[in-house]
Structure 1
């Protein structure tokens, strides 16, 4: 079983119409580093004609892949663009399922692997340069817009960013949120502590806090005016965003929160709730999924995948566990339908 047929099921059940005789094209490119910019690996998904041999990308013993036509020709049409940002320790594979659904609805999708916080590249120095994450997305956006030969023509008026976990933080930065890390650290002194306070070692790894101090570069203003809508999938950490900056966000934002927690991972819906409270109500949509865990937003796991993970990394099998009677594919169906509806309304 591949994940692409499931994506087609999602489209049919959500009421969306897949592009006729279309398939998902896929390619990866290397963006060289410079004196001021770090090197990036960028993955691209895009509409292409249904012809030629397909292969499953992102497939491994744990996760299903997505059926694509690698390095296929692009179409001559102009498409909206969605840029994806993965979470801490993730990669482009995490939202591979969502990229497939978006392409089948006419979008081009691009995703950089953020150096230092990627599964295959966990670098202690780079991981602390969290302010580079929004810059990675902006650079990816520029690369795709400047070269129609990569994934096809892009409509510059229809661009959105979607991020999961730390990628959600990245998306809110690009939307205009301004993060005050000193404030986030100070919040940990209060009685009602936000989510990041429960794992200060992790926050130190990504540069939010370190030796009692926060990096001043986190307060840089990193809004990208080319982005017209943002979606946050169970982000963290959020409370460090200033209420003033969130209140000034002038693009539509869709905020998701996972409502279920397990003994291994505490739900961080308080972070998403913080966004709901401080983003403009008129342009913000909030969705809490009661039976979703933090990892319900990533790729569908294969049967028995949690046992495989436990054997290799004891205690980590919760990545493949959800919070109720629904399968992860059913949770994805809901998310996909809502995202396509949101983008269709806000980018048109």
Structure 2
């Protein structure tokens, strides 16, 4: 049943983690995957390890806090194979944007893999690649292939337990990967009505009039998905959303920042997903960027000095700090995935 929940998750809430023993050390590896298709991928992977040496800090800069990992560590040996989670970053982000979530999920026993989507990362924004938006879901499919072919991970991943999580444009990407179909003409008409939405300002940059976007981009290996304040969703056909049968968790931000309206975007998706397999949750004090990394104390000033208004990246909508919001998001996702895969076999 689709549930509309306006709630905070307290630290004492009972959870049902898929893997009961949290891992103390998190391994980290970068994979360069190139199948000579003109779109090589830089993939970051987090996983449990027993190694303690070669500790490094990743995703840390003047704006964002990073996290400590064991570089190129040997994965922890377990009696069962580990589920795989794909992470898809938003427009202008990178694998670093959701690195906090990757680290938290790896501590729960998941293997987490996040590609940089060519053309739509902060380090690689070029219209030649960004205007081929239909390749974004394919990046995630290729990430599965990359890990399945990798000597380090091929024998420890449970390919029957693959889920995908995405923020903003990444949310759009994982919904498409799960079976939603885009319709460029419907999207164009919708933008005449809701022209203030951010997605309607990116038609040229993302190639949103290209008919290639209307094709089926689903991957049957995906068994569940989570969208985090997804954007660009109003181009999805109602029929295709109704046909998505895999479990889904749709999380929206309760505080509107002006051009990413949760009710119009995440709310649109949940309206048409099957009620028996979907859950819709709004976090009241979250803003659109609450789902990315934790900001340093002087980050807002630094961002506003670079460009007025950019400090919104580090703002949240209530009295809780971002780390508390992150804990809630992690609890929601772990609970959802553990229940989803509780009856799956290795």
Aligned position for 1:231: 226
Aligned position for 1:203: 203
The alignment partner of 1:149 has SS state of coil
TM-score between the two structures when normalised by the length of structure 1: 0.89
Aligned position for 2:338: 344
Cα distance change on mapping 1:81 and 1:188 into 2, 3 Å? same
Alpha-carbon RMSD: 2.0
Cα distance change on mapping 1:31 and 1:248 into 2, 3 Å? same
1:113 aligns with 2:116: yes
More displaced stretch, 220-229 vs 13-22: 13-22
1:185-200 to structure 2, matched below 5 A, reads: 185-190=188-193, 193=194, 196=197, 200=200
Using CA pairs under 8 Å that are at least 6 residues apart, name the structure with larger relative contact order, 1 or 2.
Answer: 2
Q: Equivalent of 1:173, from 173, 176, 184?
A: 176
Q: Deviations over 1:153-204 (max 9, x none)?
A: 10111110000000000000011000111110011234xx2764x5533232
The alignment partner of 1:299 has SS state of coil
**For this pair of structures, how many residues does the alignment match?**
329
Q: Deviations over 1:35-59 (max 9, x none)?
A: x351111111111015214211000
- Cα contact 1:148–1:154 (8 A) shared by 2: no
1:41 aligns with 2:42: yes
1:70 aligns with 2:80: no
Aligned position for 2:29: 27
Aligned position for 1:83: 86
Q: Equivalent of 2:101, from 68, 75, 98?
A: 98
- Cα contact 2:23–2:109 (8 A) shared by 1: no
The alignment partner of 1:69 has SS state of strand
More displaced stretch, 139-148 vs 221-230: 139-148
1:244 aligns with 2:247: no
Question: d(CA) in 1 for partners of 2:56 and 2:153?
Answer: 19
Aligned position for 1:260: 255
Q: What stretches of structure 1 of length at least 5 have no aligned partner? A: 1-9, 209-213
Q: Equivalent of 2:316, from 322, 337, 345?
A: 322
Question: d(CA) in 2 for partners of 1:175 and 1:13?
Answer: 29
Greater helix proportion: 1
Question: d(CA) in 1 for partners of 2:35 and 2:149?
Answer: 17
Cα distance change on mapping 1:338 and 1:87 into 2, 3 Å? same
- Cα contact 1:162–1:232 (8 A) shared by 2: yes
Report how far residue 18 of structure 1 moved: 6.9
Cα distance change on mapping 1:63 and 1:14 into 2, 3 Å? farther
Question: d(CA) in 1 for partners of 2:335 and 2:196?
Answer: 30
- Cα contact 1:84–1:163 (8 A) shared by 2: yes
Cα distance change on mapping 1:104 and 1:21 into 2, 3 Å? closer
Cα distance change on mapping 1:144 and 1:11 into 2, 3 Å? farther
Cα distance change on mapping 1:195 and 1:339 into 2, 3 Å? farther
Report how far residue 311 of structure 1 moved: 1.5
Q: What stretches of structure 2 of length at least 5 have no aligned partner? A: 1-9
Aligned position for 2:162: 159
Aligned position for 1:219: 214
Report how far residue 244 of structure 1 moved: 0.4
Aligned position for 2:282: 288
Cα distance change on mapping 1:108 and 1:194 into 2, 3 Å? farther
Report how far residue 340 of structure 1 moved: 0.3
